[in-house]
Amino acid sequence: MSLTAEEKVTFKRDGVLIRRGLVKPDQVKQAVSLIDESYRREMTPDDIPAYSRRTFAPELGDRAELLSLYTETGADRLAGDLLGDVGPVTTAQVQIRVPEGEFPGVQPEKAMHVDGVSCPHLDPRELRTFSLLVGVVLSDIGDPRCGALHYLPGGHVTMARWFADEWSLGMTEQVPPEIDREHGIPFLGMPGDVLLMHHLVPHMVAQNLMPFPRVMAYFRVSHPAHAGRRLEALRDPWLDYAPLAGASPSTFQE
């Protein structure tokens, strides 16, 4: 399994690639069963703000049933096609957008941001960046009102320019004003669909106005050299993407 030339062109332009139905139904079912049990039996309303910042079901992060959504579906090979070389992925992040009707006001909309930069709950001098976000859909997200992630195609280039020219370590702003005003495109999908998104693509997350939880499993994938060049990777969107760096659409071959 590998990326097509057309998919590479799409990713370089948009910073986003979607593979529909990549994860098999039985793999989805195993993961959902574990997460649902934790959600229903372990979570309290007081947990939701902290879980929304980090992960729901934290006790499941290293479970094989969740890690296999990345390692045994071909998603890891697609990540390798983009990055050339990938570091190990040892934990899954579970993100649930809870129904607003069931938990009013507990989980507000997340504003436009890139992960790990100027996070409100972290020291603004601390970076927790990575190279590529891989997201696996585990519930029906056919309607934007489900609490969909909204992303800005091509925003990775704009963000890299801002990080290079205007931003400095310690600033609390997560995105420039023109990005902050955007609402982006909702990522819609069905269980088993997979999102691959450049770390620098700005995104926000809406409230869930539907009566059922929206569930995603995420994997933060890094080039092995990323930890030693986090600032440089913010300013050069292709530093961690050797197969795509400097390539034009005509360069890609099947």
Asked if residues 242 and 84 have their Cβ atoms less than 8 Å apart, the reply is: yes
Asked if the structure places residue 251 within a domain, the reply is: no
Return the beta strands (E) in 99-212 as ranges: 110-113, 132-137, 149-151, 185-186, 194-198, 203-205
Question: For position 75, what pLDDT does the model report?
Answer: 98
Check residue 18 and report its DSSP letter.
E
Give the pLDDT score at 225.
97
- Indicate whether 30 belongs to any domain: yes
∠ CA 223-228-229, rounded to 5°: 80
Residue 254: what residue type?
E
Q: What is the pLDDT of residue 121?
A: 66
Taking 70 as the pLDDT cut, the residues of the chain under it are 120-124, 247-250, 252-254
Kindly give, in sequence order, each residue whose CB lies less than 8 Å from that of residue 49, ignoring residues fewer than 6 positions away: 106, 107
Q: Which helix (H) or strand (E) holds 27?
A: helix 25-41
pLDDT value for 249:
65
Q: Residue 118: what pLDDT? A: 77
Residue 226 lies in a domain: yes
| Region of residue 95 (left: phi > 0; alpha: psi -120 to 50; beta: else) | beta
Does residue 84 belong to any structural domain of this protein? yes
Q: 248 lies in a domain?
A: no
pTM of this structure: 0.95
Count: domains in the chain: 1
Grouping H, G, I as helix, E, B as strand and the rest as coil, residue 42 is: coil
Q: What is the CATH number of the domain that holds 11?
A: 2.60.120.620
Helix (H) or strand (E) holding 153: none
Q: Is residue 252 part of a domain?
A: no
**What are φ and ψ of residue 250, in 5° steps?**
-75, -15
**Distance between CA atoms of residues 99 and 145, nearest Å:** 10
145 in a structural domain: yes
The whole-number pLDDT of residue 119 equals: 75
Residue 84 structural domain: 5-242
Residue 154 neighbours by CB distance under 10 Å: 14
The C-alpha atoms of residue 239 and residue 254 are separated, in whole angstroms, by 23
**pLDDT for res 188:** 98
Per-residue confidence (pLDDT) for residue 41, from 0 to 100: 83
253 part of a folded domain: no
